[in-house]
């Protein structure tokens, strides 16, 4: 049977424009998708947009457009950004698409038929001038968080999901599957939340209309989270599964930010249990970015716009920085100085120099033609062993979504390559005709190191991986690791040109 892998990003709200926070989640998923593909998996990689709900309805009204017009406009910005960031998603779902609405209604009906959805009453705080319901926690000193006027407690008819029924089953599942919710600290948070008791969940609203109607009762629209979470299976064609995608790919690995963990680790699994479906393989909640030490917000005018960063520094530099700078799972701070420092030291200096020195020396000593290697010395064996060990390590690190550690392991290889140059001193060997075979071995090992570095760096930095690979005479579009990750893949006799600098240094005043 073919190995398959299904990874998802959250679907992004269209009432905001994309910023580095969104780019971060999507990039992480892209690295996983590319890595798994390189390892021979058939990959489904889903992203998309969350387009229903009161916020979108209100934002559209304020702009004098329909909610769908607003969504159409913002969706283009997300799609353009993903293209620019080299995101390799295989599907893009919009919750306003028919295929999605269909699945949500089918899911609602199935759970209702089982008796786990019932009609009841929901009590909330209502702001009459704004015509908006607020939950107790949303209120500011008891007043409407939008206009500041007093609110009144009102009852609203609502459908409820019998979430309470699944409390024990969920606890048991989390207990039996230690890797289901990651990182561990987050898992503990969820465990204590569930242990405190799950209440039934209101899953419809009658106070606004921009949403998917509840089947058989048009007065109600389905609550945004019941709608949104279902995207992960509607994109696979559930329940009909005409193309067999659900059968092939479900369950998924969900990558999300820490703010939406409860929805993914409590609501979503219990919906799935009620529908009799397997639970996700993993829910990983990453941390949040601040900017130069402050929370990113429109009012502070410090929202970091990824388009601008890519134009200025290049796509691979941004991809590298975001995943290298902060352990996935922890909060991090974005600063231009940290970004420039990484570009100059890790990319221009370490990686860039290794590539340019190695290819330049091959040009100088062997006219750019890769020689046949001779007998290995201990220093060669050590280098080769390090590559084998770190490739295995990286596989495990990516399994744990430790992107920064995986990058450190790759940079260990790059440093080892630079150190190998310093220690073998090819320029000295080149002066001695007796050392011609030794020089050939050294040059072969260096260029072979570059081949493996290109393949393993490619999921993180696809353009760079392809550039180095093509330089070595390989097909820059085939960056498979599967079957190509053993030492000795480069063919002697290959012509390799001197590389142009991969990453220009960024000068700062
Ligand atoms: N629409 C919901 C998700 C529904 S999934 C079924 C949503 N959308 S969102 O656009 O507000 O956020 C999407 C993702 O962006 C979340 O995972 C969130 O954590 C992430 N980020 C938003 N701001 C962020 C930072 N400042 N830093 C890192 N990630 C952040 O929630």
The per-residue pLDDT for range 377-405, each reduced to its tens digit, is 999 999 999 999 999 999 999 999 999 99
Please indicate whether residue 260, judged by its CB atom, sits closer than 6 Å to ligand 1: yes
Q: Are 452 and 406 in contact (CB under 8 A)?
A: no
CA 157 to chain centre: 38
Mean pLDDT, to the nearest integer, of 147-157?
88
Q: Tell me if 202 CB under 6 Å of ligand 1.
A: no
| Residue 87 CA from chain centroid, whole number | 9
Q: Which atom of ligand 1 sits closest to the CA of residue 231?
A: 6
Q: Take atom 17 of ligand 1 and give the residue whose Cα is closest.
A: 257
What would the pLDDT profile of 196-246 be if each residue is shown by its tens digit? 999 999 999 998 899 999 999 999 999 889 999 999 999 999 999 999 999
CB of 55 closer than 6 A to ligand 1?
Answer: no
What's the gap in Å between 185 CA and the centre of ligand 1? 19
Among 29, 226, 259, say which to mutate for ligand 1: greatest number of ligand atoms within 8 Å of CB.
Answer: 259
172-198 pLDDT, tens per residue? 999 999 999 999 999 999 999 999 999
| Length of the chain measured in residues | 509
Is residue 406 a contact partner of residue 327, using CB atoms and an 8 Å limit? no
**Cα distance between residue 80 and residue 84, in whole Å:** 6
Question: What spacing in Å lies between the alpha carbon of 343 and ligand 1's midpoint?
Answer: 27
> Atom 23 in ligand 1: which residue has the minimum CA distance?
21
Task: Tell me the C-alpha distance between 160 and 499, whole Å.
Answer: 63
Q: Which long-range contacts (CB under 8 A, 24 or more apart) does 174-181 make?
A: 174/265, 179/282, 180/265, 180/279, 180/280, 180/281, 180/282, 180/283, 181/261, 181/265, 181/282, 181/283, 181/285
Q: Is the CB of 228 under 6 A from ligand 1?
A: yes
Pocket lining: 22 vs ligand 1, CB cutoff 6 Å: yes
Helix axes 403-424, 378-399, angle to 10 degrees: 170
Give the Å distance between the CA of 48 and the centre of ligand 1: 12
- Whole-number Å distance, alpha carbon 417 to ligand 1 midpoint, is 39
Delineate the domains of the chain, giving CATH numbers in brackets. 336-509 (1.10.730.10)
Mean pLDDT, the chain, integer = 95
CA 367 / ligand 1 centre spacing (Å): 52
**Total H helices, total E strands in the chain:** 20, 16
- Cβ(473)–Cβ(317) below 8 Å: no
pLDDT reported for residue 253: 98
pTM equals 0.95
Mean pLDDT of 343-372: 98
* Furthest-apart CA atoms within the chain: distance in Å: 92
**What is the residue-wise DSSP string for 256-320?**
EEGGGHHIIIIIHHHHHHHTT-PPPSEEEEE--EEETTEE--TTTT----HHHHHHHH-HHHHHH
Instruction: Give residue 22 CA to ligand 1 midpoint distance, Å.
Output: 6
Q: Is the CB of 21 under 6 A from ligand 1?
A: yes
* Predicted local distance difference test score (pLDDT) of residue 271: 98
Query: Quick check: CB of 232 below 6 Å from ligand 1?
Result: no
> Atom 21, ligand 1: which residue's CA is nearest?
21
Q: Whose CA is nearest to atom 9 of ligand 1?
A: 12
Distance CA 95, CA 368 (A): 54
Give 212 Cα–ligand 1 centroid separation in angstroms: 22
Q: Which two structure tokens, joined as six digits, stand for 366?
A: 């062997």
> pLDDT by residue (tens digit) across 77-105?
999 999 999 999 999 999 999 999 999 99
Could you identify the residue written with the tokens 């080299």?
Answer: 86
Residue of higher predicted confidence among 304 and 177? 177
């Amino acid at each position: 049977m073919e190995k398959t892998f299904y990874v998802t990003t959250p679907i992004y709200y269209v009432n905001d424009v994309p910023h580095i926070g969104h780019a971060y989640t999507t990039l992480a998923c892209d690295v996983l998708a590319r890595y798994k593909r390189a390892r021979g998996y058939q990959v489904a990689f889903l992203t998309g947009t969350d387009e229903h709900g009161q916020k979108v309805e209100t934002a559209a009204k304020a702009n004098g457009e329909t909610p769908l017009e607003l969504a159409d406009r913002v969706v283009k910005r997300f799609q353009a950004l993903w293209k620019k960031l080299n995101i390799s998603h295989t599907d893009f779902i919009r919750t306003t698409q028919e295929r999605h609405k269909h699945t949500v209604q089918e899911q609602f009906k199935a759970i209702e038929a089982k008796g786990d959805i019932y009609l009841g009453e929901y009590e909330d705080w209502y702001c009459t001038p704004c015509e908006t319901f607020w939950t107790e926690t949303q209120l500011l000193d008891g007043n409407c968080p939008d206009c500041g006027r007093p609110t009144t407690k009102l009852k609203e008819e609502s459908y409820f999901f019998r979430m309470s029924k699944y409390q024990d089953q969920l606890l048991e599942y989390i207990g039996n599957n230690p890797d289901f919710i990651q990182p561990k600290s987050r898992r503990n948070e969820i465990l204590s939340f569930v242990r405190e008791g799950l209440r039934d969940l209101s899953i419809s609203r009658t106070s606004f209309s921009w949403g998917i109607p509840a089947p058989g009762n048009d007065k109600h629209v389905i609550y945004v989270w019941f709608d949104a979470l279902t995207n992960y299976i509607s994109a696979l064609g559930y329940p009909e599964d005409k193309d067999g995608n659900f059968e092939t790919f479900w369950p998924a690995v969900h990558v999300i930010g820490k703010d939406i963990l409860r929805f993914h680790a409590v609501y979503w699994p219990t919906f799935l249990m009620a529908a009799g479906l397997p639970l996700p393989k993993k829910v990983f909640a990453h941390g949040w970015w601040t900017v130069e030490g402050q929370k990113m917000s429109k009012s502070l005018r410090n929202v970091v716009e990824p388009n601008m960063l890519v134009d200025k520094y290049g796509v691979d530099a941004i991809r590298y920085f975001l995943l290298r700078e902060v352990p996935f799972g922890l909060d991090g701070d974005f600063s231009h100085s940290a970004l420039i420092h990484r570009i100059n030291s890790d990319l221009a200096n370490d990686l860039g120099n290794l590539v340019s020195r190695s290819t330049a020396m091959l040009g100088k000593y062997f006219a750019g033609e890769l020689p046949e290697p001779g007998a290995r010395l201990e220093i060669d064996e050590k280098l080769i062993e390090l590559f084998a060990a770190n490739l295995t390590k990286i596989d495990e690190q990516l399994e744990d979504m430790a992107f920064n550690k995986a990058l450190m392991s790759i940079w260990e290889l790059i440093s080892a390559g630079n150190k190998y140059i310093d220690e073998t001193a090819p320029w000295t060997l080149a002066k001695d005709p007796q050392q011609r075979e030794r020089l050939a071995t050294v040059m072969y090992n260096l260029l072979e190191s570059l081949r493996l570095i290109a393949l393993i760096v490619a999921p993180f930095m696809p353009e760079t991986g392809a550039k180095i690979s093509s330089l070595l005479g390989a097909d820059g579009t085939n960056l498979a690791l599967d079957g190509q990750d053993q030492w000795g893949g480069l063919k002697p006799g290959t012509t390799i040109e001197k590389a142009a600098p991969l990453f220009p240094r960024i000068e700062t005043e």
